[in-house]
Structure 1
Amino acid sequence: MIPSDVCKAGLMTLLRVGGINSPERLEQTDILMAGGRITALGRDLDIPRGWPIHVVDAHHLIAVPAFIDQHVHVTGGGGEGGCGTRCPEITAREIASMGIGTVVGVLGTDSISRSPADLLAKVRGLGAEGISAFMYTGAYRVPPPTLTGDIQRDLAWIPEVIGLGEIAISDHRSSQPRQDEIERIVSDTRVGAMLAGKRGICHFHIGDGKRGLEPLRRLLSETEIPADQVIPTHVNRYAALLEEAADYALAFNATVDVTAFEDAGDGLSAFDAVSRLLARGVPPELITMSSDCNGSLPEFDTNGTYLGMKVAKNTTLIADWQRLVREGVLPLESALGLISTNVARVLGLHARKGRIATGFDADVTLLDSELQPQQTFVAGQCVYDVRTTE
């Protein structure tokens, strides 16, 4: 029976599915969602007569936590080749069609024609369209551009701001921040987040420069900053950097983020990168995957001269993730961590996202037998249904 204390006011949704991975496999096959939360899990839940419940019959599908993409250029990235090379904004449909319910927006190289205010407006726009959206304050450069003029105030007063990023290091496009500057902005982020009751991670873009992860290794070795405050991304940019990332993860018990490059070029695909990290003994709990979608994939010559670019998509993220499961690199419950549970923990959202459990946000993705998203629910509302978009 549905618990008697479930609120009877307003529309509720009952998903009847073929199975639930929370990410671990559950015995229940019914998910009741109301008020944006999961209110009950069970088998063959009875529906009291007169209750305003919408029933979704999806016995042929598997329910998993809606995916979380922690690195999305929601306003578009690019610009390295001039104004004509700015990437387009991403749409809510493009996000939800990949089973993604939550995104974190970032600025990149261009924080001149695009600003934190633009990013906040886009994040709120995605929220109005049903996507759970957050943002990092800052961009590639140091000092980071902010909304209020101060990192700590951004974290304290702007609900959507959950950290700082993406700060570029080991890259010719970065502002070449000194070690003390890196330490200062990470410390400011940590204190601002503490005052706001947030995790306040610092999301670092790692380029193909020779310093690699050295600035972050020094940060964690020479200061009191905990490892979970710092997330390096693009660590699969080239093979030697991935090896360094494995050493970094193991030495500091730190999470590293793999990018699902559409065209890996000299780098490694997300599939290959995750496989190699696991082979090196990095626990799957310390690995996350993100798309970098709608960011630019610029090409430069050895002198740093711009040659051309492509626009990243989030389709590669899901394809590489599916391949990890299909080829047996990870079982489904562990693989889900890479794009849901682990990411929720990294972002400090683990008390409400990344699991299918009573009291958690009703963010649920329904997958078919090929692990292809068929429906995506965010806060209990269907924001994508393959049947209505084909």
Structure 2
Amino acid sequence: MLTLIKNGIVYSPDFLGKKDILIVRDQIGFVEDEIRQPSDFVEIDVIDAEGKYIFPGFIDSHVHIMGAGGEGGFRLRTPELMLTDVTTAGITTVVGVIGDDATTRTMASLIGKAYALEEEGISTYIHTGSYQVPVRTLFDRIEDDLILIDKVIGVGEIAIADERSSQPTVEDIAKIAAAAKSGGKMLGKAGILNIHVGTGSDKLSIIEKVIEETNVPISQFQVTHINRYRELFESAKQYAKKGGYIDLTTSTDYKSLETTEIKCSKGLREIIDEGVPLENVTFTSDGMISLPTYDEEGNQTGYKLGLPKYLYEEVKDAILEEGVPIEKALRVITANPADILQIKKKGYIEAGRDADLVIVEPDTLEIVDVFAKGKKMVEGGKPIVFSTFESKKE
């Protein structure tokens, strides 16, 4: 029930220096310069993290936990998320979304999958709805889902600037955002409206009109996939400077990075250099989507999964290749999503928070151990806790 991690170099995500961390059940009990193990006391599991970095557990706030895909035929439906897909990537909290298929994937199934992952050891939340307007909720209204279902913390992903969207109007988006805010306020939830932005030339214009023409505040929206192409990315940076929340998607494919998409690590460097408020920026994996694959000549060869592991890979690249300071790079997958989504016990290493911790090697930043709510899920870089029906990997 007690775990003492000694001598680690702690990023909370702000740099705290060398600290000892005592885990009491599922929470962080103490973070001190030194915590001595008493003699003649109950058994304590002591881990020596000498020289290693300790980060808060990562938050991936846009994951298709039931799978995604299906465009082009049912055979392209992707599988459901397995526990080790996230734990081996240092992710200890996920927010599940449905996406474009609200016919064969439903809110009831999304809630069920979220509870299953929670039982297996990680923290889970969901957004109600999908691409479509009117929003398909579990109960009659958006407010009902937010008030009556503890795991529902927002709405989305609602699609705009995309041929697959329902082509929502300014009035549609304003009403959805207002309902999300109203329902969330009842229980201290953020009630964020998560907006999928496609490749349409209208970009963020409908959201900007809602903000200009109604009383819905800019803080009620989180726009995602904003690194799809340069013009959208530039618009998103200006949007964030006005106070808006922007999200970069880490799952992509070779051809897109060569032609249109902004690599997240490079995008983060730009954001910092140009004075965009870092606290308004997050990374998410868009995990379990289907991605087309291409050969060197740009010919499509098949499909692959967009995996949650790409989340931390882009953060590592930002640190190791783009020179982004560790404490700034970490914020986009720890403190920022916790603050924006008002997930109060996540995102930081401090007493009273959930004991979600990631221990990494200092030079390579490779993951060594992962704790989720005080339970060790990954040890020595290998998973030690698995989903019920998951094959144990050697």
TM-score by length of 1: 0.91
- Higher mean C-alpha deviation, range 219-228 or range 122-131: 219-228
Q: 1:57 aligns with which of 44, 48, 71?
A: 48
Q: CA deviation at 1:101?
A: 0.8
Residues 170 and 207 of structure 2 are in contact (CA less than 8 Å); yes or no, is this contact kept in structure 1? no
Runs of 4+ in 1 over 6 A off after TM superposition: none
**Which of 156, 169, 174 pairs up with 1:165?**
156
Q: Distance in 2 between matches of 1:387 and 1:318?
A: 14
Query: Quick one: distance in 2 between partners of 1:17 and 1:213?
Result: 47
What whole-Å deviation, never above 9, does each CA across 1:145-170 have from its counterpart, x for those lacking one? 11112110110011111100111111
Residue equivalent to 1:134: 125
Instruction: Please state whether the residue corresponding to 2:50 is helix, strand or coil.
Output: strand
Q: What is the percentage of aligned positions where both structures have the same residue?
A: 36
Q: CA shift at 1:269, angstroms? A: 1.4
Question: Quick check: 1:79–1:109 contact (8 Å CA) kept in 2?
Answer: no
- Number of the residue aligned with 2:141: 150
- Where 2:145 maps in the other structure, the secondary structure is helix
CA contact (8 A) 1:15 1:31 kept: yes
The reply to whether residue 98 of structure 1 matches residue 89 of structure 2 is yes
Alpha-carbon distance in structure 2 between the residues aligned to 1:387 and 1:257:
28
Contact 1:17/1:62 (8 A) holds in 2: no
How large is the Cα RMSD of the aligned pairs? 1.8
Q: Secondary structure at the match of 1:29?
A: strand
Consecutive unaligned residues of structure 1, counting only runs of 5 or more, are 1-10, 300-305
Q: Equivalent residue for 2:37?
A: 47
Within the candidate set 344, 347, 354, 1:361 is matched to: 354
**How far apart are the structure 1 equivalents of 2:358 and 2:304?**
29
Aligned partner of residue 278 in structure 1, secondary structure: helix
Whole-Å Cα distance in 2 between the matches of residues 152 and 135 of structure 1? 14
TM-score by length of 2: 0.90
1:325 equivalent in alignment to 2:319: yes
1:210 counterpart residue number: 201
Following superposition, the deviation at residue 25 of structure 1 comes to: 1.6
Distance 1:224 1:307, change over 3 A: farther
Amino acid corresponding to residue 279 of structure 1 in structure 2: D
1:182 partner amino acid: I
Cα distance in structure 1, aligned partners of 2:42 and 2:87: 28
Q: Distance in 2 between matches of 1:152 and 1:386?
A: 44
Report the AA paired with residue 374 of structure 1.
Answer: V
Once residues 49 and 101 of structure 2 are traced to their aligned partners in structure 1, the CA distance between those partners, rounded to angstroms, is: 44
Distance 1:80 1:385, change over 3 A: same
Deviation at 1:37, TM superposition (A): 1.2
Moved more, 121-130 or 223-232: 223-232
Q: Distance in 2 between matches of 1:307 and 1:158?
A: 42
Out of 251, 258, 266, which is 1:272 matched to? 266
Q: Displacement, 1:249?
A: 1.1
Selected match of 2:377 from 383, 386, 389: 383
1:228 maps to what in 2?
219
Q: Per the alignment, do residues 343 and 221 of structure 1 end up closer, same or farther by CA in structure 2, a change over 3 Å counting?
A: same
Of the structure 1 ranges 198-207 and 313-322, higher mean CA displacement relative to structure 2 is found in 313-322
Provide Cα deviations, 1:117-144, integer angstroms capped at 9, x if missing partner. Answer: 1111111111011111110010000111
Query: Residue 331 of structure 1: CA displacement?
Result: 0.6
Specify the alignment match of 2:28 in structure 1. 38
For 1:166 and 1:89, locate their aligned partners in 2 and report how far apart those are by CA, in whole Å.
Answer: 18
Q: CA deviation at 1:307?
A: 10
Residues 75 and 90 in structure 1, CA contact (< 8 A), matched pair in contact too = yes
**Matched position secondary structure for 1:339:** coil
> Mean Cα displacement is larger for which, 143-152 or 233-242?
143-152
Distance (Å, rounded) in 2 between the aligned partners of 1:186 and 1:12 = 43
| Structure 1 contact 261–270 (Cα < 8 Å) conserved | no
Gaps of 5+ in 2: 294-299, 384-393
Matches within 5 A, 1:177-188: 177-188=168-179
Matched residue pairs, number? Answer: 372
The answer to whether the Cα contact below 8 Å between 1:28 and 1:41 also exists between their aligned partners in 2 is: no
Conserved in 1, the CA contact under 8 Å of 2:266 and 2:322?
Answer: no
Deviations 1:252-310 (A, max 9, x none): 221210011331612121122222333332122221111001013369xxxxxx99654
Q: Is the 8 A contact 1:71 1:292 kept in 2?
A: yes
2:190–2:341 Cα contact (<8 Å) kept: yes
Q: 2:103 matched to 1:112?
A: yes
